[in-house]
A and B are shown apart, each in its own frame.
Chain A
């Protein structure tokens, strides 16, 4: 079955710096890769996603890149702000199989 690894597990950056979180997956059939942000006491919320026919997608300060050959994808957050502090999860999906990474706790220091 699918296995998703995510690094780093914790990440601290200064406000205004960039943050990068990387995920690798094992099942080459996976074709949908969402990223979720989870704040304390809330459920995960989708922030950006990418499908296998695209190599990069950007939405304001957030971007995701996908390398299908290497089976890895990354989340990039630029100009980080304190409200970006949360736990971020990647997922690799095929059909009804959604497999999440273990999460990255991002802290943006003012």
Chain B
């Protein structure tokens, strides 16, 4: 048990749908992250939040919209996605930057 939970674990959505991924950390950490993991590609860092402020946005399309209402919760809002967005979306948290990251189990997203 890593202390980082993600819901849902699996999600199938059409290209016109709007859905949200949720991440919650129970570790008292200050930083939270969203990663995309596709087959045959390295883990890609999408967003970083530190103390509820976004500090990194790695040129992610606007159809992905993060939200961090408090230091324990992180959301990824999805709308008008493309089939190539199908992937495993991982949330992670760490005490501070450049520190051990604890990952959640991920949400397996399929866009049809």
Identify the A interface with B (CB < 8 A): 4, 31-32, 34, 36, 41-46, 49, 89, 91, 93-103
Q: How far is the CA of A46 from the CA of B99 in the complex (A)?
A: 11
Do A98 and B55 touch across chains, with their CB atoms under 8 A apart? Answer: no
Give the contact-size bracket for chain B.
20 to 34
Residue of B40, B43, B56, B100 near A100 (CB, 8 A) is B43
Identify the B interface with A (CB < 8 A): 2, 4, 33, 40-43, 45, 48, 50, 55-56, 90, 92, 97-106
Do B98 and A32 touch across chains, with their CB atoms under 8 A apart? Answer: yes
Contacts of B41 in A (CB 8 A): 102
Q: Which residue of chain A has the shortest Cβ distance to B103 in the bound complex?
A: A43
23 contacts between A and B (CB under 8 A): A31-B98, A34-B101, A36-B103, A41-B105, A42-B105, A43-B2, A43-B106, A44-B43, A44-B90, A44-B103, A45-B2, A45-B103, A46-B100, A49-B100, A89-B42, A93-B98, A94-B98, A96-B55, A97-B45, A99-B42, A100-B42, A100-B43, A102-B41
Contacts of B90 in A (CB 8 A): 43-44
A interface, over-half SS: strand
B interface, over-half SS: loop
Q: How far is the CA of A102 from the CA of B42 in the complex (A)?
A: 4
Q: How far is the CA of A42 from the CA of B103 in the complex (A)?
A: 9
Q: Which residue of chain B has the shortest Cβ distance to A42 in the bound complex?
A: B105
Shortest beta-carbon distance from B17 to chain A in Å: 25
Do B42 and A43 touch across chains, with their CB atoms under 8 A apart? Answer: no
Q: Interface centre among A31, A44, A103, by most B CB within 10 Å? A: A44
Q: How far is the CA of A41 from the CA of B33 in the complex (A)?
A: 19
Residue of B43, B55, B56, B105 near A89 (CB, 8 A) is B43
Contacts of A97 in B (CB 8 A): 45, 56
Given A43-B103, A44-B90, A95-B97: A101 and B48 interface contact (C-beta under 8 Å): no
Residue of B33, B92, B98, B104 near A95 (CB, 8 A) is B98
